Amino acid sequence: MNQWLTLPFTSWGFSTKSVPAAIDPAPSPPQTDDVPAAGELAGTHRYRAIFISDIHLGTRGCKAEYLLDFLRHADADRLYLVGDIIDGWALKKGFYWPQTHNDIVQKILRKARKGTQVIYVPGNHDEAGRQFVGLSFGDIAICSEAVHTLLDGRRLWVVHGDFADGVIQHAKWLANIGDSLYEFILWLNNHFNRARHRLGMGYWSLSQYLKHKVKNAVSFISDFERVLLREARRRGYDGVVCGHIHKPEIRTLDGLLYCNDGDWVESLSALVETHEGELKIVRWNSRAAPGTYVLRWDEPVTAQPTRPVLTETS
């Protein structure tokens, strides 16, 4: 296996503590206070659970500054990392690991140390992490899948979702070709959004727009959703939380709840459950100010930045 695939996992301090391959945490007691804890930013949003996936650390397409800003303004009892956190496919081609990517890792580790239960379910781009299922590092449990119990008692199956992608399962060579084309579109997308920033405009995903205009892509997404929900029903769950296709969504299909938390390459989104039990998509498509210095994970906050616009959809 390429050394870059396992480097992020082996260099962050594994413990030998074993954890179940699949985790079903007990529901936490309801809380309604929104008072920042010590060290938190004023205006921090507190949730029962946050689900994020498809960060793609190790790629130039990763919007690390936006995610860092979101993590500074959001906290939860549980944080689910739903796959493709590290992009091993990209690291195979060439090592790219700027300081902001390391800061994201350190920020998540710090949340775990401060009491957030962090559960990591590897995906296809970070499939190297699957060899560590059942172990934990830095208080982060690595699992093949997880189960999240909502405040109302419904049980959601948490899985990255790549098993429902026929291209990944049966034609990985085609997926690699598609991945290279996708990287080129993201390169165009970055330049496009730099021009938008100069004009004082917010982030807008050209790549996502193109993807959702292609008929075959729309059909693939629909099939992907139905395959996941069919398997969730077979396993006795009330719904599914996944990532993989970079399309944030919450909807009910055939009596089951389908939730996709999106990504931090195109959508800049997360799925959250509030302390009142409501599920929402949070879109973080602006940060303190485009081009401003982003604090490192361990730097003190000396001044409150301008708050990004928080867009929530349920």
Parent domain of 114: 3-313
pLDDT the model gives residue 223: 79
As for how many domains the chain has, the answer is 1
Q: Concatenate the DSSP letters of all residues of 43-72 into one string.
A: T-EEEEEEEE----BTSTT--HHHHHHHHH
pLDDT the model gives residue 289: 47
Residue range 99-130, pLDDT digits in tens: 999 999 999 999 999 999 999 999 999 999 99
Q: CA 244 → CA 66, 82, 259, 297, distances in Å?
A: 19, 9, 12, 27
CA angle 135, 141, 145 (to 5 degrees): 100
pLDDT the model gives residue 308: 46
d(CA 69, CA 108): 12
Residue 121 belongs to domain with CATH number: 3.60.21.10
d(CA 238, CA 149): 10
pLDDT the model gives residue 89: 85
pLDDT the model gives residue 254: 87
pTM: 0.73
pLDDT the model gives residue 166: 52
Tokens, residue 208: 């996502």
pLDDT the model gives residue 287: 60
Percent over 70 (pLDDT), the chain: 61
Q: CA 313 → CA 102, 200, 264, 288, distances in Å?
A: 30, 25, 17, 21
pLDDT the model gives residue 170: 38
Q: Which residues of the chain have pLDDT under 70?
A: 1-23, 25-43, 165-193, 196-197, 201-221, 286-314
Q: CA 14 → CA 10, 37, 51, 109, 143, distances in Å?
A: 7, 28, 23, 12, 14
